[in-house]
Structure 1
Amino acid sequence: MNLHLLADAAPPVPESLMAMSDFLTSAIDWMTCGGMILCTGWIVVHVAKFMWGNSNGAGDPGQLGRIAPALIGLVVLGSVQLLVSSLLGDRGAEPHDAPTENPLAPPLPVPAAPAPDEPMNSTPFAAVGVVIAAFLVLGALGLIALRARNQIVDRRAAAEDREKDWHTARTIFDHTRSKFADYLADPYAIFERPILDDHTDTFTAAFLTALADAEALHTETVPRTAHRIDTFRTAATTLAAAWTAADRHARTVGMAVLTRDQRKTLKTIEGALAIALDESAPAGEREAAMRTVTRLSQELPMPLNTDRIADLLTLSLENAQRKALTI
């Protein structure tokens, strides 16, 4: 009977082997925890960088793709950690110091104890939960990336529309200002539309006011706000309309009704002006012709501002002197 009991007894497990097993499982548990912390930090950092860039209008949806390896690693490490935790729990439940039986002692009657219920292993359910949570996180990040992409596309489209509106307004502004510059550069235009030099005229004053307003809003680069662009476009449109009205009014008024003597005076002024602007004529003769233009202009029914013509003559004389010095 004693031999039968010795044959059925299981060989004892060495304590060193059990300690090594406990050390390995504990080390694996700690490493998986550390890996999960690193993966979580990687995900948090890249999501934060993406959200920051998106708030500044420079978000890149492809940046979220960098967190996919971390999510996969998080799922794998979570499964390993759950498995190791279950093994540690089972190992802790195993008795290490079981009382040894004396094979020579007679067996003592032991009352039958009810068999304890074995705890249900929840490791598979936890692993499934981790996988489902990972897929939910992936889906949420995908929705965030899609929304961010749509916002970026909308911002770019809005920026293109703003740039197009600004270029349209800039074209209107430059075209109108070019027409006014052509009038100022033409010395004969003052005898056709003299009222454009009269700042007390209603149409001329309205045009000059619109020109000052548009120039105050004009910029060399595209403004960032749509309101600023709309304001400049409105000012440029107002400027173009004001120039059209002032130019039409000036052409309609012209030099008013001239008598026969005044028409002869106007012809004399035009001839003297041609001599004053002739760069091949002597300087003294050109200056005398300019004085004639200024004197005769006072005899016309419309007041003329000949200062601009005198400035053109002065500039022309200075250019002629510089050319003579270089020869």
Structure 2
Amino acid sequence: MDRIVEAVDRTSSVPVSVQLRGALEFGIASGELPEGGRLPSVRSLAGRLKISPVTVSTVYAALQEVGNIEGRVGCGTFVKSMTLSANAAKLRELDGKIAELVDLAYDCGIAPSELATRVSMTPRQVHVSMRLLILGNFWEPTEAYAQALRPHLDKADRLVVGTMEDRSSLEGQQFDLVISPRSLLEPAKTYFPDTPITGVTLIPDEATRVALASLSTDERVVGYSYFDTFVTMLKAGIHRFGPHISDVQIVVRGEPDAEAAIEAADVLVYATGADYLLKSLRADQKAFEYRHTPDINAVKKELLPTIEAYRTKIMKTRRG
């Protein structure tokens, strides 16, 4: 949170409210602000940013409406979990049925060890293949997300790639679950109102982290954001993985001084979608993309249990 607050730039052409919302959205999406983490109170954050509490309250309300955060009466505001998993009541029900099964096995003269063997060899009555959609802003990075996810999915599941810029290609297709970066939850829910949607945590990929760590301390670095909501997290990310870099300026697409800033830069760090800038750079300028990849630890702990929970729901529906 400290990095995010420090990265908010009051001199930027992007309004502070837009910077703050984008910073929180991308902070949650990247795991910088982890699920279940407590956010500062409205007054505390407003005081740190030197802005009106009404502005912070409005941003919190917008994020809560989308499902990124939740307010808990008497406790505060927290990053909302996207994980859908079995609840305690269901687990207690399972324990009860196992106990009944053990008793029945004893009546049949079957020892628990033999019962365990029989259970392990019993096939599931129904196996549901899931049709999943991974939704992103641009095709190439979203396909890279899909490639990172596929080895961890059930082999029978199908993962389709879709982008916000080419939604028409998805019309008429049915999906069991839509997966998107948490920063895209709001538009995803608009375009797929009848389909369950869950978020995937993204982190800067290894190439991005290595490139930032390899920069010289005396190089002038300009970060270029394709979206104004990403400016704060781009700056915070550069400072996180390149803490030795002191001369950093962040510009956003369409900003009047963007071209001049890029012209004066030694290194351009551009957000995904802005690779068109490469053709205008001089030979002595360096550039690389600030690219994300799914956080596999979060995939295992959050996304996969959510997929299995929805698979179980579908199985119950079909049995019913």
> Same-fold call, TM > 0.5?
no
**Which structure ranks higher in relative contact order (CA pairs < 8 Å, sequence separation ≥ 6)?**
2
Q: Which has the higher helix share?
A: 1
Length-normalised TM-score, structure 1: 0.19
Length-normalised TM-score, structure 2: 0.19
Q: Which has the higher strand share?
A: 2
